[in-house]
A and B are shown apart, each in its own frame.
Chain A
Amino acid sequence: MASLKDDFKSFRRSWVQHTGMQLATLSVLTATFSVIVFGFALATNLKRVLASWGDSMRLAVYLEDDLVESDIDKIRSELEKIGSIKDITFVPREAATESFRTQMASYAPDLLEDADFSNSFPASFQLSVKGGFATEKDLRHLEQLSAIIQKIPGVEDVSYGQTWVKNYSAFVSALYTSSGVLGLILVCGSLFVVGNSIRASIAARREEIEILELVGATSTMIRRPFVFEGFVMGALAVVFALILNFGFHVWQKSFMATSFVMARLVPVISFLDPLVLVAFIIGGGFVGAFGAWLAVRKINDGWSASQGLEI
């Protein structure tokens, strides 16, 4: 009675006898898990995209106007002492001006004729930070780093697009929190769906349960097939949800590849890692098993189980 083979036989019998009900349950579960998987994949890929943007972020360390070459070298060596800086690029005043002119040429040609703009940009160091930037913790680190650099003699100002970075950080945090809350709600919904399905299954198999009680089956023996059924249903629903989401992912990538704006994001976007896939399947199984256990924990509770029986 307690072998895995028997559990599978019981599961198969349940499907054969209640095909419609089982299909409905599997469909609803698949839909629920599809949303969870979609949300997770979306959050993971947004994190990747944001991290790739974060990687490209630079700190601009603007220098005072009257510095000589030895002062600039001193500042560079001070910056090199800071461990979390990945690379340092010096941009002289002329290069900054030229860069501005190149970028603005097509937008405001008249402005470039203005003599005040010919040499109005300060020299700077452009820094990139190790580990990129993706979380609020990174934001705090960036603020601390900026404060340290600001204290180096000869540094006029440090800029890293503070407003943009704060908004970016808040967006990432909100994304994670809302994904977590949505996931939790959907998992609770899945428990409810599995529980209801198992309750219906119990009602349909009440006679079988009574016969098992009659011949001396213990509570564990009676409950186990239902919990197993919940596990298999949960795991199967996740497998179907993953297949659906993978199909959507393939379509989405091919769609993005045709768009000029989004094409460069294609290499960043990927489906879930194999380990995450396995974790999802096992997790779905456990959600199903737990939902089933909630539904069956009260059946065959020794004496009370017999109350509905008539001899």
Chain B
Amino acid sequence: MGMTLTEKILARHAGLDRVEPGQIINAKVDLVLANELSAAVAIGVMRGMKGASKVFDRDKIALVEDHFVPAKDAQSAKLAKLMKDFAAEQEITHFFDVGRGGIEHVVLPEEGLVAPGELIVGGDSHTCTYGALGAFATGMGSTDIAAAFVLGEVWLKVPATIKIVYDGELQPMVYAKDLMLRTVGELGIDGATYRAIEYHGSTVDRLSITGRFTMANMAIEAGAKNGIFHADEKAIAFVKERTNRPFIVDRADADARYERVIKIDVSALEPQVACPHTPDNVHPISQVTREDVNVDQVFIGSCTNGYIEDLRIVAKILEGKRISPKVRVIVNPGSQKVWMQAASEGVLTTLAAAGCAVNTPGCGACFGGHMGTLGDGERAISTTNRNYVGRMGSPKAEVYLASPATCAASALTGKITDPRVLELAGV
């Protein structure tokens, strides 16, 4: 019996010939990630561990200040400083302060810190994003991260794998985000708990790397441990442009064992929207727009859709227009590099001219941290990944999740709007 992509990577990192779903292994890690929130707790735990004075490898730890940056208050500044001081003390190579990084999951691949076949753990649930490049990557809590900091290894339960095969041509204005929202809708928010998702099919083969980031990012929204793509030429080229480090490109065996195989034909797929208050409450946009769903805020950003490709889509829709006077639009480019690219292409000016507030890179409004927190009774449509009660601020607010195109279209009209009918409506 063969192995899935996830099983192959796990077996190699555990020094085993093969692994089985359910087996508990001790695996070596290639990179350990933390942000200022998860690091603050992890550093405290590490300080309390007997015999743990040094991290296992200063080159294999990435620390990114992104959640409450620039610091929203003195308490947040304290956490940011805690991580910065730790980075200095441990001489961590990959420390990204505000202004030099951005959102951790956008920064790491961009900086060449993720390669196919690697095993990465991070103190953030969306660490699964790196599966887009053929790595095994999963999120953990701070105590696990502290353990990984000092040991360079983690214990893992080998997940069974769900294979999802996407075929068909995506219609105009339908994107990877719509595909993934549909997938989460189909699996349910606990449909892939303790499982790996392996993405297959001609549709995802054609997707850009950005689209794959979006899809791998939201694997956790179905409860999955990781989401993973085979690294193809596109992925390999993306990585080689950013690092000289050697890496291994794995392939799932033809006779690999999958717990489930799901086939999704995308040719008739409309833009999708996750309605409040769970990411699996997903409906085609034609259903959602049957009634007017007015919005107060549109948020463009996050590790799901804060990439240059996403900002270009939004700019294309908003170019030469003004957003509805009823809404505020907040844009957080995913990283400093995305910000600079968007600036040099004129994207940021287009967005600002349309009436958007363009922020510095970071998580910002995505998790209700700061820079765009929703008030009681407010409603937002957002390119992010979660819409639980209180996710973006007040527990009395509502969050809808959609693609950058759908969010941009909604910004123009002030209500949830199908980006495909925008032109027809003459907006």
A binds B: no
Interface residues of A (CB under 8 A from B): none
